[in-house]
Amino acid sequence: MPAFDLPLAELERHRPEPAEPPDFDAFWRATLDGAASGDPLVSVREVATGLRLTRTWDVAFRGFAGDPVRAWYSRPAAIPTAEPLPAVVEYAGYGRGRGLPHTRLTWVNAGYAHLLMDNRGQGDQYGCGGDTPDPHASAPGGPGPAVRGLLAPHTYHYRRLVTDAVRAVAAVRALPGADAARTAAVGNSQGGGLALAVAGLVPDLAAVLVTAPFLCGIRRALDLTDASPYGEIAAYLSVHRDAEQAAYRTLSYVEGISFARRAHAPAHFGVGLRDTVCPPSGAYAAFNRYAELSGADPRKEIRAYPFNGHEGGDAVHVRRQLDWLHAEWGTAPGPVSPRPA
């Protein structure tokens, strides 16, 4: 697929004004206040994984409406839990669940405490499944998460999922051996959109690493691509022809550009310029407007991959993320191999 979005020089200047609802901040303040009471943790149980170098705990924490949300929490086995480690909260992609505890080991092998959040009501499309139901998914909408409850902001699936993502940060900070002052949000695709939302809603987040973020520049993306998940929204509106304005209003409350404008944390972005799943103009719009309303002036960087699609820089980009976060936190684990150019 050749490049289909704006040329790179235009992407670097792309700063669309999001159509923010006037009560955007009040909506999220009320939503998060309704989920913030009590101990964030429901249960923490160490599990056997067959791995000698990693310890893992099966965690349940309180998410939206106090619903229990599952996660895997892992640490390097050689480091006592009494020694706090910087923490990375990772969010999975669209249709995925948390899977099995041995499948995501990059961050724990880099020396961090790692929490991988399950996606409520997802997990049936890719990977090895999920363990968190969504008891509130009864509002009108299609079968896919992108359209569940689409006709009203209070019933939309992503109101619940973003709230879970914010509560995951509170959960990891309450777990043994996590350094609450050094907590990063990390994700790709849907996970990137969630990480960006967390950056806008958690003012003391220490870092955010976002790749190919979903829910950024939503209106433009719906005009550019029929690929899922945006294609699911378009398919729904092709049947429910009078629902367009209601859907746009709902989507304005989860627009990643709006979250990015409110962020404080240092940020690392990655984008494939041939990405037809999450068009690159959305990532650039979020990057270019990042932190403009927060009064912060954080370090930020974006890496573009001109010949790549939704996979972006793949393992090369992950290595760049590791280098960037090690440099940000001073956590480089001794001698390292040559960094990618």
Span 288-319, pLDDT tens digits: 999 999 999 999 999 999 999 999 999 999 99
With vertex at residue 48, the alpha carbon angle to CA 46 and CA 54, rounded to the nearest 5 degrees, is: 80
pLDDT of residue 3: 72
Is 333 within a domain?
no
Q: From the CB of residue 184, how many other CB atoms can be counted at a distance below 10 Å?
A: 28
Rounded to an integer, the average pLDDT of 207-233 is 97
Each residue's pLDDT tens digit, 107-130: 999 999 999 999 999 988 888 888
Beta-sheet strand order (sheet of 41-47):
41-47, 54-62, 68-76, 113-117, 85-91, 178-188, 207-211, 267-272, 300-305
Rounded to an integer, the average pLDDT of 327-336 is 73
Distance of CA 224 to the CA centre of its chain: 22
Cβ(267)–Cβ(300) below 8 Å: yes
pLDDT of residue 338: 47
Confidence grade of residue 333 (pLDDT, cut at 50, 70, 90): low
- CA neighbor of 147 nearest in space, from 220, 200, 94, 223: 94
Q: Say if strands 178-188 and 113-117 run parallel, antiparallel, or are unpaired.
A: unpaired
Which residue is catalytic, options 14, 114, 118, 189?
A: 189
Active site residue 275: yes
- CA neighbor of 75 nearest in space, from 112, 30, 110: 112
Is 144 within a domain?
yes
Which residue is catalytic, options 67, 134, 164, 275?
A: 275
Longest dimension (CA), the chain: 60
Structural domain of 45: 8-328
pLDDT of residue 212: 98
Whole-angstrom CA distances from 327 to 60, 190, 210, 299 are 32, 26, 17, 11
Taking 80 as the threshold, does the pLDDT of residue 226 lie above it?
Answer: yes
With vertex at residue 64, the alpha carbon angle to CA 62 and CA 70, rounded to the nearest 5 degrees, is: 45
Cis peptide before 229 (omega within 30 of 0): yes
Taking 60 as the threshold, does the pLDDT of residue 334 lie above it?
Answer: no
Look over the chain and give the mean of its residue pLDDT values, rounded to a whole number: 94
pLDDT of residue 1: 53
Taking 50 as the threshold, does the pLDDT of residue 336 lie above it?
Answer: no
Which residue is catalytic, options 102, 240, 310, 326?
A: 310
Cβ(232)–Cβ(144) below 8 Å: yes
pLDDT of residue 124: 82
Whole-angstrom CA distances from 304 to 2, 212, 298, 314, 318 are 15, 10, 20, 12, 13
Joined tokens for residue 210: 């976002």
Rounded to an integer, the average pLDDT of 137-149 is 86
Give the total number of structural domains in the chain: 1
Is 253 within a domain?
yes
Is 337 within a domain?
no
Taking 90 as the threshold, does the pLDDT of residue 6 lie above it?
Answer: yes
- Lowest mean pLDDT of 1-5, 38-42, 247-251, name the range: 1-5
Q: Percentage of the chain with pLDDT > 70?
A: 97
Is 335 within a domain?
no
**Is this model's pTM higher than 0.75 or not?**
yes
Confidence grade of residue 335 (pLDDT, cut at 50, 70, 90): very low
Taking 50 as the threshold, does the pLDDT of residue 337 lie above it?
Answer: no
Q: Give me the CATH number covering residue 251.
A: 3.40.50.1820
Is 339 within a domain?
no
pLDDT of residue 332: 73
Is 338 within a domain?
no
- Lowest mean pLDDT of 96-100, 186-190, 212-216, 257-261, name the range: 96-100
pLDDT of residue 38: 84
List of residues 6+ apart from 51 with CB closer than 8 A? 77, 102, 105
- The Cα–Cα gap between 309 and 195 comes to 20
Whole-angstrom CA distances from 67 to 62, 63, 163, 270, 319 are 5, 5, 11, 32, 35
Each residue's pLDDT tens digit, 227-236: 999 999 999 9
Taking 90 as the threshold, does the pLDDT of residue 94 lie above it?
Answer: yes
pLDDT of residue 340: 52
Is 320 within a domain?
yes
Rounded to an integer, the average pLDDT of 210-230 is 97
